Amino acid sequence: MTWTNPLRDERDKRLPRIAGPCSLVIFGVTGDLSRKKLMPAIYDLANRGLLPPGFALTGFARRDWAAEDFGKIVYEAVKQHARTPFRQEVWDRLAEGFRFVPGSFDDDEAFDRLAQTVRELDAQRGTNGNHAFYLSIPPSAFPVVCKQLARSGLAASDGEHWRRVVIEKPFGHDLKSAIELNAIVNDVFPEDAVFRIDHYLGKETVQNILAMRFANQLFEPIWNSHYVDHVQITMAEDIGLGGRAGYYDGIGAARDVIQNHLLQLLAFTAMEEPTSFSAAELRTEKIKVLNATRLVGPLDETTARGQYLGGWQGGEWVPGLKEEEGFNPESKTETYAAITLEVDTRRWAGVPFFLRTGKRLGRRVTEVAVIFKRAPHLPFDATMTEELGQNALVVRVQPDEGITMRFGSKVPGSQMEVRDVTMDFGYGTSFTESSPEAYERLILDVLLGEPSLFPVNAEVERSWEILDPVIEHWAKQEQGPDPYPAGSWGPESANRMLARTGRAWRRP
């Protein structure tokens, strides 16, 4: 009979999980994402002791580099962008596992060299046949890379050792292309080996939506249509397109943000409590919500889109969209998008969800604001409650991560005067440990084979089903997006969209 120590077992559950022997291959290793996010995240994981001693990182790109040159690129990226302090001993141990394979995606010989490199890593670094392939490349290149991974034998798993593929968004540009893309990927990798990255799901504050809802009895009785008036989900950026103008044209704000980030935030906000936080149970509840989500029409009145003009922002003049280098001045691609949705469940019936995103807005902020109904009766003189708004619970995803609650309170004095006040929780002031970057959490989950925070086929395709009618509706309109000044909060059509319902956008 084997004796176990329950206290030790409970302690072990709380210890951070460390990845087993493995390696990561990055395609598109010369791009901004790799330099600013992926390489620093890998170093930060190593610095936190969460990578195995023999971990290996292989870069694949169209550059005539040696492994030493690749090491210098990683070093510069880490020194500039890593979250944790630089430690030479950690770097030296990590750098021993760097490899680089030059070649193009259609080069059979390059992929054969990559396969040989992976086999050598198994022998030299003890990676044990476990390899993840990160496709930090345009979606148009996914098919050829997947086919090369299959042809070279890199995608094959023998059941004892794993092979996984990581795919960056966008997952297609509409439902039809998403289905085709999923079929191509799944022809090479089974669905349980496919990890579609939505970096928002790796943020601590997004995961805290679940903790706030399901770890506290306080919110459950009021988290429904009896008490909630509406929900606003906002992702605002204060920057323009800059050097991404050529990439962004033809994609737009709705495809770039609403289809993935904002619909995932809606699912976390509106989902029912899962029976456990296993990947299967969590995904089941999210898919239920997305299946119950529908557009509210008519779309002329319940959606809005815009393009930013030049204007003063942060004390300096910034160019408008059509003055951005590389952007087609005749383009109708939107930089601001807002839509109205409802979730047809018993909990949420009749509650509108307003989703908006845009560039060159008032400030950078991502938040979920749950706005509650007004009290049915206020036993106060109207003049005493002029500054009293609706109660609200606001989850701040970025940059000032935390939660704010707005409610009415009496103003000190002899009269019964009531005004809005706020209670605030901030991650930075409540916890001594800083939150890890989203890519740290997600890369580690890939290496651990933990799929909870990665959307599956059904989620991706259902999200496109929701958004496609809006994209098609806008494409049929002769008039392009409405203009809005840089530094504002979007076009007037977005304000009218809410005003028709007797509501207004919250000013973050």
* Per-residue model confidence as pLDDT tens digits over 325-378: 777 788 899 999 999 999 999 999 999 999 999 999 999 999 999 999 988 767
Averaged pLDDT, 5-9: 45
- Write the DSSP string, 132-200: EEEE-S-GGGHHHHHHHHHHTTTT---SSS-EEEEEESP--SSHHHHHHHHHHHHHHS-GGGEEEE-GG
If you ran DSSP here, which 8-state letter would residue 329 be given? T
SS3 284: helix
Averaged pLDDT, 196-216: 87
pLDDT band of 13, cuts 50, 70, 90:
very low
Beta bridge partners of 179: none
Side chain identity at residue 188, one-letter code? V
Q: Give the model's pLDDT for residue 148.
A: 95
Distance CA 318, CA 16 (A): 45
Share of the chain above pLDDT 70, in %: 94
Is the model's pLDDT at 16 over the cut of 70?
A: no
Share of the chain above pLDDT 90, in %: 62
Q: Give the model's pLDDT for residue 452.
A: 86
SS3 29: coil
**Binding site as annotated, residues for substrate:** 199, 203, 237, 256, 359
428 or 183: which carries more pLDDT confidence?
A: 183
Sequence-distant (≥ 6) Cβ neighbours of residue 271 within 8 angstroms: 285, 286, 288, 289
Half-sphere exposure of 201 (CA within 13 A, CB side): 24
pTM of the model: 0.90
User: What tens digit of pLDDT does each residue of 151-185 get?
Assistant: 999 998 877 899 999 998 778 889 999 999 999 99
Averaged pLDDT, 423-438: 80
Ordered by where they begin, the domains of the chain are 15-168 (3.40.50.720), 201-499 (3.30.360.10)
Q: What is the mean pLDDT of the chain?
A: 89
Among 231, 237, 235, 299, smallest CA distance to 266 is for: 231
Q: Which two tokens stand for residue 431?
A: 């916890």
Put the strands of the sheet holding 163-168 in their side by side order: 98-102, 56-61, 23-27, 131-135, 163-168, 194-197
**Binding site as annotated, residues for NADP(+):** 62, 169
Is the model's pLDDT at 431 over the cut of 80?
A: no
Cα-based angle 327, 329, 333 (whole degrees, multiple of 5): 70
* Residue 176 φ/ψ region, left for φ over 0, alpha for ψ in the -120 to 50 degree band, beta for the rest: alpha
Averaged pLDDT, 109-129: 94
User: What tens digit of pLDDT does each residue of 32-77 get?
Assistant: 889 999 999 999 999 999 999 999 999 998 887 777 788 899 999 9
Is the model's pLDDT at 319 over the cut of 60?
A: yes
Catalytic residue set: 261
Side chain identity at residue 139, one-letter code? P
Distance CA 178, CA 199 (A): 19
Alpha-carbon radius of gyration of the chain: 25
SS3 405: strand
Averaged pLDDT, 432-443: 84
Q: Exposed, middle or buried: residue 48 (CB in 10 Å: 0-12, 13-18, 19+)?
A: middle
Q: Give the model's pLDDT for residue 377.
A: 65
Q: Give the model's pLDDT for residue 8.
A: 43
Averaged pLDDT, 111-117: 96
Is the CB of residue 289 less than 8 Å from the CB of residue 343? Answer: yes
Is the model's pLDDT at 7 over the cut of 50?
A: no
Sequence-distant (≥ 6) Cβ neighbours of residue 458 within 8 angstroms: 283, 287
Side chain identity at residue 127, one-letter code? T
SS3 412: coil
pLDDT band of 203, cuts 50, 70, 90:
confident
Is the CB of residue 402 less than 8 Å from the CB of residue 426? Answer: yes
**Angle (deg, nearest 10), helices 279-292 and 263-270:** 100
Is the CB of residue 191 less than 8 Å from the CB of residue 283? Answer: no
Distance of CA 25 to the CA centre of its chain: 22
Beta-carbon count within 10 A of 26 CB: 24
Is the model's pLDDT at 260 over the cut of 50?
A: yes
Distance CA 430, CA 306 (A): 38
What is the torsion angle, in degrees rounded to the nearest 10, for the CA atoms of residue 185, residue 187, residue 188 and residue 189?
A: 70
Distance CA 467, CA 178 (A): 13
Q: Which two tokens stand for residue 507?
A: 């000013």
Tally: H helices and E strands in the chain: 18, 18
Is the CB of residue 23 less than 8 Å from the CB of residue 131? Answer: yes
pLDDT band of 311, cuts 50, 70, 90:
confident
